[in-house]
Every structure is written in C-alpha cells, then in structure tokens.
Structure 1
C-alpha cells in the first residue's frame, strides 16, 4: 500500500514544471562532491540581479557539509551544517525510524553570529499506508509557532490540511486545505489558502516518457480574474531537457539543460516579456552544476 506524500509535496509534479530549471537574471554555480569517508560537501554561488551594471547585482554563496553519523538496516542519523555569506549558520540533525517505525525526527538550529539572533525547530513526520502526518515547533525570541499537517489518500483521491498557530502573530496564521487526485501519469490538485482567500489549482499530465505538460491557476479574493500558466518539459534525447512556460502576464520562459558528461551540467534560461518586446525587461540566466 502506498504512502501519500507530505502536504508540502501535494501537486509537486505540476509545480516543478514552473519552478525547476529556470534562473532568470541569475548566474549560478553549484559544486558537490563526497569524500571517501562519506561526507558530502556542497558549495553554491549566485550572482543575482537584472541590470547590466555591476552595482545592481549582488553575489551570495553557501557551503554545506552533510555526514551520515549512524546507519544500520532500518535506522540512520544524518547531520547537516550550512554556512551562508550573509553570515548565517544552520545545523540540522535528522533521525529516521527511532522509537517508531516509519517516523522521522529533525532538530534544526539557526544562528546569526554578528547579531546573536538564533532560533530552533523540532520537526516530526509519521507515515503509514494511506496516511502522512508532519508537525513542527519553532522557537524564536518573539515566541513559539506550532504547525501541523495531515494527508489521507485512498484509490488515488487525497485530502490534506495544514494549520499554523503563532504566538508572535497572535493566533492562527495559516489554515489551508487541499484536495486532488493522482494517478501514475496524471494529477489534479486544488488548494484553498487561508479559509479560501486564495485558491490555487494545477493539472499535470505525463504524455509520454519524454513529454510532460501542466497547467496552473491562481485566484485571489477581490481580483478581477485568475492568473494562469502553462508549462512543458521535453526530454528530446539522453542528457538534454527543454522546458517552456507561458503565463497570463505575457511572460514566456524558456530553458535548455545539457549534460556535458556524467559530472557537468549546464542550464541556459531566458524570460521574454511578450507585451513589451522593445523594452529591456527580458532576463537571461546561466547555471553550471559540477558533481564529483
């Protein structure tokens, strides 16, 4: 019996069509490797901005270390530490299948050395056939926030709920509900956010092993109409992926990913404002990924 995805992954097939493979206005470099001692290292650097002059751009980066400190046939403990150029340090400890089978516990700490600001999170996940539950408790200097989600699924149909109570926001911050249907090559997803003030919907269809298509709709209370997007992903040959998307604002997105070899990938992307072709509002992006 299949376990449903967690709430945050509902409708992920469609959302990935519109988010993955695009880095408009940015130049990104990702380098990852694993040592003989099974410690993973990942370095990332990004030059952000749209303007041609250097003053309008900013550069950020991060270094991440990940190590599996314990593992047997069913249990494992992993520690991840990440430092970013904005001088933030994030450390995470994840334990799987300790105490209860099919459970996951995560301890996360966030620290800003130069300001002394810090926070912590405790996350849990429990999954069984047809059921997936998560919870999170975040502790900050302003107070405590508690979030919980639950997803049930039967015969392809699913329903999920997400709620957040925040002490420093003075009550319930989020109350979201999702329903949908997912099959092997098709999914339909709808989310009502904050008691229906926003409604998001998506449709995903895997036409073949090479072609995926998707449609996304967003509506907000008081808006004149809905915002829509259509997207596609085409694996024309081994190592080559072409993506495209177009939305109701007239923005056309294109992406081309090429696997140069087993360790190097390059991604080129562009966003064209079809309503203002003569204006310099178009954006380009470049991504390089090295993995050893």
Structure 2
C-alpha cells in the first residue's frame, strides 16, 4: 500500500537537509512518547540564545486505523484521511476572534505528486492562501515545485546518494522582486546518531 504524503510533506526531505540539523543561535527540544492505547504525545520548542525568546507546542494525536482517520489536538484541530493514491486534510485554528480553516489535498500516481492547499479566513470571509505543488518522488530522489498565492515560486531537488550522504538544492523567488534565493546543502552521517551538515 502506497502511503500518500500530506501537503506539508511535499518537498520535506530537501527542506530537512537545509533546516533540521542547523540550529545556530538556537536551542531546540523535541520529545515524543506513545501510550499503550496508541495515543501519541509530543512536545517541541525552541529558544533563541541572543534574544532569549522562544515558543513551544504540545500535541496529542489519535489514529482510528479502521477508517484511515487521524485526529490531532493542539492549538489547532486537525483531521486527515489517507488512501493509496489520495490524501485529504483540514485544520481549524482555534482562535475564536479570527478562526481560520485550512484544507489540503494530495494526489499520487506512480511517483508523481500534485497538491493543493488553501485557507479561508472566516472573520473576513476571504480566501487567505491558495497554494499549488507538483513533484516526483522515488526512494532516493525527490523533485518538488510550488506556487504560493501566485506570487511566490520555488523548487527543490533532493538526492540520497547512499546511507550516509544526502544532498539538496533549493531555489525560490517572488513575483514582486528581482531577487532570487539559491542554496546547496549536504548531510553526512559519521555514525548512526552523528550527522555533519
């Protein structure tokens, strides 16, 4: 059974090479546990060493395997459904002054991926995000492109060279600017728990 990605997971492997192990000027913590009944609890947070400001998150996740449903409770209420070649999800921001509804869908076919994400601001009765993504994924290679609100454009390439080496290229630009962003990153595992980025 092919497990279709969520919209937030599209291009994640390339983003992780750039972001996951780089924490200059920052302290990160990520704790996870699972109860005997299958309920997952996770706590994460970060603090900047120069400003001493930080934030954190506590999340509870429960899966109903018979129906392919996952419920997550945090500052947002999330629900998602995954099937062989399709995944669908929604988030509801629990801010009663300005509640926002997020909806996403991803289709997969023979390694090709297409996704759409949008958010609706209920206080303003207005679509506040409209994002599209296309990509291709194999076991050791990923290509990802996205368009956010018809103004931000980007793409990434991820290659897992072998069990120890991962590489990534990232490119982004905005319609309102002539500037573009380009990056190359690599990760090398010295041992099972010691990466060098």
The normalised TM-score by structure 2 is 0.84
| Structural RMSD (CA) | 2.9
Alignment map for 1:184-263 (pairs within 5 Å):
184-194=139-149, 196-243=150-197
Match of 2:16 in 1: 16
Match of 2:64 in 1: 97
Alignment map for 1:265-276 (pairs within 5 Å):
none
Query: What do residues 123-182 of structure 1 show as CA deviations (whole Å, max 9, x unaligned)?
Result: 110011011111122242323321110001011001000011102344000000000100
Q: Select the structure of larger CA radius of gyration.
A: 1
- Shift of residue 60 of structure 1? 4.6
Give, in whole Å, the separation in 1 of the partners of 2:63 and 2:103. Answer: 19
Distance 1:170 1:21, change over 3 A: same
- Shift of residue 105 of structure 1? 1.8
- Shift of residue 33 of structure 1? 8.8
The normalised TM-score by structure 1 is 0.59
SS class of match (2:139): coil
SS class of match (1:13): helix
Give, in whole Å, the separation in 2 of the partners of 1:158 and 1:138. Answer: 27
Match of 2:127 in 1: 172
Give, in whole Å, the separation in 1 of the partners of 2:83 and 2:132. Answer: 20
Gaps of 5+ in 1: 50-56, 65-81, 83-91, 111-120, 244-292
Give, in whole Å, the separation in 1 of the partners of 2:47 and 2:93. Answer: 28
